[in-house]
């Protein structure tokens, strides 16, 4: 497993478990085993889902772990496959079969991976304009998904309470309803102190998931 993915997975599960008074070790070994399988991607997905099916108290993390499984595939598995694998019919079929899986977290992780590769400091403005290309006419789906983030970019200069206030006003069917608070908060402070993490948790609309997602992003970016 890619080391950044490993750290992000452990941080997300352990943070979630701590808030909900669960034991992260109930599920982490099984997830790690699924990620490390020497098998095709969809078999890894099946193994990961089986672990969550056996530990439904952690089910809120399932699709975000799928995103980590995908980024792990790009970081580790693709290197072992043919050079043009991501252009193959097999990969096209996998993409079609997983259209309803994962979340926009994958875009955040891909952006951070690109920043690390290019030795560029991540920023919300760069993420929106240079990675998602939300200002380009042909990327209006991305503009629609991130519209609330675009409209509230000034929150990166604000505090967790103000970010949470806007997050709580999002519609339940908004694609970023769960990611808005951790996403903006990450770009607000990419290396928060324990005191800042406490303030973040205190203001969080969904404490367990919000802390898990922020820690996932922070550890992946570390």
Q: What is the pLDDT of residue 139?
A: 80
Q: What is the pLDDT of residue 79?
A: 75
174, 149 Cβ separation under 8 angstroms:
no
Residues 87 and 138 in one domain: no
122, 221 Cβ separation under 8 angstroms:
yes
Q: What is the pLDDT of residue 105?
A: 97
201, 213 Cβ separation under 8 angstroms:
no
Q: What is the pLDDT of residue 210?
A: 98
Residues 111 and 78 in one domain: no
159, 202 Cβ separation under 8 angstroms:
no
For residue 53, how many other CB atoms are within 10 A of its CB? Answer: 10
Q: What is the pLDDT of residue 86?
A: 82
Residues 83 and 71 in one domain: yes
Q: What is the pLDDT of residue 187?
A: 98
Of 69, 102, 135, which residue is a domain's last?
A: 102
User: Domain total for the chain?
Assistant: 2
Residues 137 and 188 in one domain: yes
Q: Provide the whole-model pTM.
A: 0.94
**What is the DSSP track for 7-69?**
HHHHHHHHHHHHHTT--GGGTHHHHHHHHT-SS-HHHHHHHHHHHHHH-GGGGGGHHHHHHHH
Residues 107 and 97 in one domain: no
Residue 172 DSSP one-character state: T
Distance between CA atoms of 26 and 41, rounded to whole angstroms? 24
Residues 167 and 220 in one domain: yes
Residues 52 and 71 in one domain: yes
Residues 109 and 173 in one domain: yes
Of 66, 81, 102, which residue is a domain's last?
A: 102
Residues 144 and 129 in one domain: yes
Residues 37 and 134 in one domain: no
Sign of the Cα torsion 41, 10, 105, 208 reads positive
pLDDT in tens, the chain (222 residues): 999 999 999 999 999 999 999 999 999 999 999 999 999 999 999 999 999 999 999 999 999 999 999 999 988 877 777 777 888 888 889 989 999 999 999 999 999 999 999 999 999 999 999 999 988 888 888 999 999 999 999 999 999 999 999 999 999 999 999 999 999 999 999 999 999 999 999 999 999 999 999 999 999 999
Backbone angles phi, psi at 99, to 5 degrees: -60, -35
Residues 97 and 107 in one domain: no
Q: What is the pLDDT of residue 138?
A: 80
Of 102, 133, 161, which residue is a domain's last?
A: 102
Q: What is the pLDDT of residue 171?
A: 92
Residues 91 and 183 in one domain: no
3, 32 Cβ separation under 8 angstroms:
no
Domain that holds residue 57: 1-102
Q: What is the pLDDT of residue 17?
A: 97
Q: Per 3-state DSSP, what percentage of the chain is helix, strand, and coil (rounded to 5)?
A: 75, 0, 25
């Amino acid at each position: 497993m890619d080391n950044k993915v490993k750290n992000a997975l452990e941080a997300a599960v352990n943070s979630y478990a701590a808030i909900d008074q669960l034991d992260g070790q109930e599920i982490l070994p099984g997830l790690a085993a699924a990620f490390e399988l020497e098998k095709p991607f969809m078999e890894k997905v099946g193994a990961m889902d089986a672990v969550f099916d056996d530990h439904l108290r952690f089910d809120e993390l399932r699709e975000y772990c799928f995103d980590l499984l995908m980024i792990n595939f790009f970081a580790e598995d693709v290197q072992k496959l043919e050079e043009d694998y991501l252009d193959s019919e097999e990969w096209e079929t996998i993409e079609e079969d997983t259209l309803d899986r994962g979340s926009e977290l994958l875009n955040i992780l891909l952006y951070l991976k690109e920043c690390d590769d290019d030795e560029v400091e991540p920023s919300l403005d760069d993420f929106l304009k240079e990675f998602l290309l939300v200002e380009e006419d042909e990327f209006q789906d991305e503009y629609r998904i991130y519209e609330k983030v675009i409209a509230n970019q000034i929150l990166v200069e604000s505090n967790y309470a103000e970010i949470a206030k806007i997050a709580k006003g999002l519609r339940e069917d908004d694609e970023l309803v769960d990611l808005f608070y951790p996403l903006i908060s990450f770009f607000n402070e990419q290396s928060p102190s324990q005191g800042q993490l406490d303030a973040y948790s205190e203001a969080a609309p969904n404490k367990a998931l919000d802390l898990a997602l922020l820690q996932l992003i922070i550890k992946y970016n570390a």
